[in-house]
Structure 1
Amino acid sequence: MKLRALLAMPDLRLRAVTGEDGLDREIRWVVTTDLLDPGRYLSGGELVLTGLVWWSGPADSEVFVRALARSGVSGLAAWDVERGRIPADLTAACERHDIPLFQVPEDVAFATITEQVVRRLSTARAADLGAVLDRHRRLVAGLTRGTGLDPVLELVGRDLGMRCWVLTPAGRLVAGPHPLDTDPSALARAFLTADRLPCHQAGPDITLLPVAEETTSRVADWFIACEGDWSEWPAERRALTDELAAIVALERARLDDRLSTEGRLSQELVRVVASRDDEILPHLKLTGLDLDVPFTAVAATAHGDLRPGELRTVLAEILPDHSLIGLLGEEAIALVPARDDLTAPLRTALSALAPGLAGLAVGVSKPVAAGELRGATEEARYARRLAAARTDPVCVVGHDELATHVLLLASVPDDVRQMFKERLLDPLLTYDEEHKADLVLTLETFLQHSGSWTRCAEQLHLHVNSVRYRIQRIEELTGRDLSRLEDRVDFFLALRLR
């Protein structure tokens, strides 16, 4: 399928912004991304879809488009719902790097574009495939909202006599109109540990097929379990299962809540909790959760090929329902309504996923009242850093393993923490802003070097007398004496609360 064909698809209403000379390029696949540099996840020939979440200025457009050009993508389709436009610098970058750029109408979902392009890309079809795809098109469009994948799988089973199920790597049954006669967790482990996919399980006589192997890490993917040995299937049946995998991938993308109202609320709440500036409870009330139930904070980072968005998917799979999950850079933060300690259940769940994880560090806080979530999040992030320092491929550190000032600070109510920090540091911050000074930096460095004038001066590239003058100014502004251990401890704790 060529890029030019996109302009002839009436349901998409795409408009070519630039790059008309490249409209004869072939589309191999469709990839949706919000990464600033998605280059390592592209292999060439893709139509890339983006909502421009990564864009903050002209320099970002150059980084993003240069990565696409180096990867050999066929074209780019974009729209920024929040700003209601495509930035001019993105158009200019596409012109410089010879990347055809399409504008996506605001009311056309990326899932719709992906679905229609995948349908065109499929060359070998079973006789009834048109009915299958038409059924799924109506599912995605919401005309049979709530029915999910079961009608599609039922159609495949009825017409081909081959029962199929969709599962997650955690062993959760996503869809399947028939009872599954074997242990889902055993199939999930076989999927995670298979050297190559598809793979056949002789015991239950089931073939396991990936849903989006080229674009998704296995541990964050779904998989299809079909009756029979795929090596014995005729070409028509193999073609149908390929199309079925594409359909399941679309359904998985449709159910991804990151761009839903709930997903955006979760992301915003995590940002607020980490920012220390805004009140948490008003944002938490917007989620509709019971604020009288305790919450637990979970922080996680992944090594290897698992991307942050995929880490979020893994957490959403193993955490209780109604968990609020957001990303802070490479780190995923979950705020979980939970009365009980989650450390042991998380260890068990991640142990089952360990074959698909190259490395994962997780920190878990103790359950706290909703108003103490900021402290719980700090506790979880500190526990996560302890986990990352260990050598275990998958490591979960609970709050019971912490015994430092972080645990103490995490238990203090937010208003008390804020007041303590303001009383000690606000005079210094105000002075720094008005006089372009570095009193806060000097204080932090002075404490890091245990009050050594010489080492502090060396670190800051200052004369010792300059350091002495700054410390004297700090003491005058705050009424504290940095020769006293008690005052040093207070400043140290206040700096930790920043």
Structure 2
Amino acid sequence: MRLRALLETDALGLRLLGGEDELDRTVRGVMTTDLRDPSRYLSGGELVLTGLAWRRDASDSEPFVRILAGAGVAGLAAGEAELGDIPADLVEACVQHRLPLFAVNETVAFATITEHVVRQVSGERAGDLAAVVDRHRRLMTSGPAGGGPEVVLDLLTSDLDLRAWVLSPTGRQIAGAGAPLPAPLGAALAGHHLAATRTGRRGPYRAAVAGSTYSLFPIRNAGRGAVPAARDVRESVLSDWLLAVEADASDWPAARLDLLQGVTQLIAVERDRRDAARTVRRRLAQEVLELVQAGAAPAEIAARLRVAAPVLLPGLGVAPQWQVVVARVDWTAAGTAGGAGVPGDIAGGPVAQALLEEILVDPAVSGPDSADRIAVAHTGEEAIALVPLPAVPAPLPETVDGPTDNAAAPDTAEAPAAQDPALHADALLASVREPLSAGLADDGRLTLGVSAAVHSAEGLRGALEEARHARRVAAARPGRVCAAGHHELASHVLLLPFVPDDVRRAFTARLLDPLRDYDRRHRAELIETLEAFLDCDGSWTRCAARLHLHVNTLRYRVGRIEQLTGRDLSRLEDKLDFFLALRMS
């Protein structure tokens, strides 16, 4: 807006005292001050409001005006409430420095002028930003030359003073302006968004996290916050992106909400481009999976992997190791709002495929294409990911005579150990459990199985079966999001989940119920003693030290356990039975 527009607004009660030739200056903001030197708070283009409390005598006016002019302010408005008529020395100083000067009638509050300027400037900025968003959308729709969502997010920050981030359903930052969002905060916001989406409410959703308020906008192409009536929200809730804005949009005018909706539609174009780029990787994974399941010759599978490796690991060539990850999303018949409520209506394979593609993106790297090297196929209700792993550099061989390079400095620091690039089920689970549990609500489950790394095509079939077995182990556990790794298949952990419930209950009741009953009556802590005794491999001294008991007291408790159960804790078979009963209870 221009200074001339302020002068022509009767409600503001402004009277021009000097600078008529400068009334076409643009006003970019407003500031109220009575500091003698407010330069540190000025960025240029402001209308400065002052009550003249800084003026002690006539000599103060020229330095004050010189500071304002040097900072590039648009104009000065002085209130008449304190001194009555504006001092002539201030008028002369403004004429000298070509700074427009207004007198503010004592009946007009500075707050009235401030509110008017802010409203006008914000409206103009929103209009300019809307035009930029529309132009940027056309660029991105026609090709990849638009620069990505970061350009528009930067504009939201610079023109509307809104900090915003694009997040995945697990809370990973895909794009953002300024400082990156902390990972725990991103996960919390994603969880709020998923939970609100499952209720069927219209966005944006309000979330208060870590003392700040955020507005969460779904990124879809179906209108503001709406879910198409013909589609079950559960088909996409675990794969939709969101726009998190650090502001409370509940009192925003419709024009600003429409502007943010335009931003989400623009980002949806980027999302579509990302999905299109994954088509090749999906096809490669499907071809390899079909060969592995059909029992094709290792040479044929290896040839297909040689084709896939340059796409999945650009510049690396053939991947020396591969891992397989299997995922499954199951919905019960008890659908929540916005869902059809019939599991047969939702194809679990594509849902798990889109989710697995997101989960396996490296969470330490932001961006829509970051570390997007995995290839995911789906068969039936399962999604299967083929994950190439870069080689870990082998340590240099040591020789009897020392380093082979005689020129090496003797005090060179020892190289750090190479980081294991393999996926681990527990780390995978920790990164996604909190937000995805909110999206799964009370009617969905995600189970994951992770294989060991294999070094050749011959090992892929075994890796696939290993990942499937691990997923079934995870499925036998309680919880909305569960994962198991290959290391759990070489112990009793593999067997226990498949023991029928009635057998499990009967076995544990026969061994442990007498001890529990005795503990309830006498507070003898026999169950705790039994667990510690087995954990200490039957060592009397170590167990007594752990429980802070005298060895004789421990012997008395173990004797009571044997008496109540009819077992002998010196026998391996009885120790094993107690161990399994405790694990199954």
Match of 1:301 among 319, 328, 345: 328
Match of 1:280 among 289, 301, 313: 301
DSSP 3-state at the match of 2:216: strand
The residue number in structure 2 matching 1:333 is 384
The residue number in structure 2 matching 1:367 is 453
The structural deviation recorded for 1:204 is 2.0
Aligned-partner Cα distance in 1 for 2:171–2:358: 10
Aligned-partner Cα distance in 2 for 1:302–1:251: 26
TM-score by length of 2: 0.44
Aligned-partner Cα distance in 1 for 2:129–2:487: 57
Aligned-partner Cα distance in 2 for 1:128–1:350: 35
Q: 1:398-422: CA deviations, max 9, x gaps?
A: 2223259xx9xxxxxxxxxxxxxxx
Aligned-partner Cα distance in 1 for 2:270–2:190: 19
Structure 2 gaps of 5+ residues are: 1-125, 228-232, 332-345, 363-370, 390-420, 495-585
The structural deviation recorded for 1:282 is 0.6
CA contact (8 A) 1:365 1:379 kept: yes
Aligned-partner Cα distance in 1 for 2:149–2:481: 33
CA contact (8 A) 1:270 1:327 kept: no
**Structure 2 residue 242 is the aligned partner of structure 1 residue 226:** no
The one-letter amino acid paired with 2:465 is E
**Structure 2 residue 282 is the aligned partner of structure 1 residue 200:** no
The residue number in structure 2 matching 1:350 is 432
The residue number in structure 1 matching 2:516 is none
The structural deviation recorded for 1:301 is 1.0
Q: 1:295 to 1:259 in 2, by over 3 A?
A: closer
The structural deviation recorded for 1:391 is 4.4
The structural deviation recorded for 1:206 is 1.9
Q: 1:368-417: CA deviations, max 9, x gaps?
A: 1132112111221232234334443222122223259xx9xxxxxxxxxx
Aligned-partner Cα distance in 2 for 1:356–1:256: 21
CA contact (8 A) 1:384 1:396 kept: yes
Q: 1:181 to 1:345 in 2, by over 3 A?
A: closer
The residue number in structure 2 matching 1:397 is 484
Aligned-partner Cα distance in 2 for 1:251–1:341: 28
The one-letter amino acid paired with 2:243 is I
The residue number in structure 2 matching 1:190 is 192
Q: 1:345 to 1:142 in 2, by over 3 A?
A: same
CA contact (8 A) 1:299 1:381 kept: yes
Aligned-partner Cα distance in 2 for 1:190–1:252: 21
Pick which of 272-281 and 386-395 moved more: 386-395
Aligned-partner Cα distance in 2 for 1:294–1:346: 19
The residue number in structure 1 matching 2:111 is none
CA contact (8 A) 2:474 2:482 kept: yes
- Largest Rg, 1 or 2: 2
The one-letter amino acid paired with 1:400 is H
The one-letter amino acid paired with 2:479 is D
Aligned-partner Cα distance in 2 for 1:127–1:251: 22
Q: 1:11-41: CA deviations, max 9, x gaps?
A: xxxxxxxxxxxxxxxxxxxxxxxxxxxxxxx
CA contact (8 A) 2:327 2:383 kept: yes
The one-letter amino acid paired with 1:366 is A
Aligned-partner Cα distance in 2 for 1:296–1:143: 32
The residue number in structure 1 matching 2:218 is 210
The residue number in structure 2 matching 1:24 is none
DSSP 3-state at the match of 1:245: helix
The one-letter amino acid paired with 2:168 is T
The structural deviation recorded for 1:178 is 2.1
Structure 1 gaps of 5+ residues are: 1-124, 408-498
The residue number in structure 1 matching 2:254 is 235
CA contact (8 A) 2:454 2:463 kept: yes
Pairwise CA RMSD of aligned residues?
2.8
Q: 1:342 to 1:181 in 2, by over 3 A?
A: closer
The structural deviation recorded for 1:270 is 2.4
Match of 1:247 among 234, 247, 266: 266
DSSP 3-state at the match of 2:143: coil
Aligned-partner Cα distance in 2 for 1:153–1:273: 44
Greater relative contact order (Cα < 8 A, sep 6+): 2
Q: 1:317-342: CA deviations, max 9, x gaps?
A: 22143222111122100111345352
Q: 1:127 to 1:148 in 2, by over 3 A?
A: closer
The structural deviation recorded for 1:263 is 3.2
Q: 1:292 to 1:237 in 2, by over 3 A?
A: closer
The structural deviation recorded for 1:127 is 6.1
CA contact (8 A) 2:327 2:382 kept: yes
CA contact (8 A) 1:257 1:263 kept: no
**Structure 2 residue 185 is the aligned partner of structure 1 residue 167:** no
* Identity rate, percent: 36
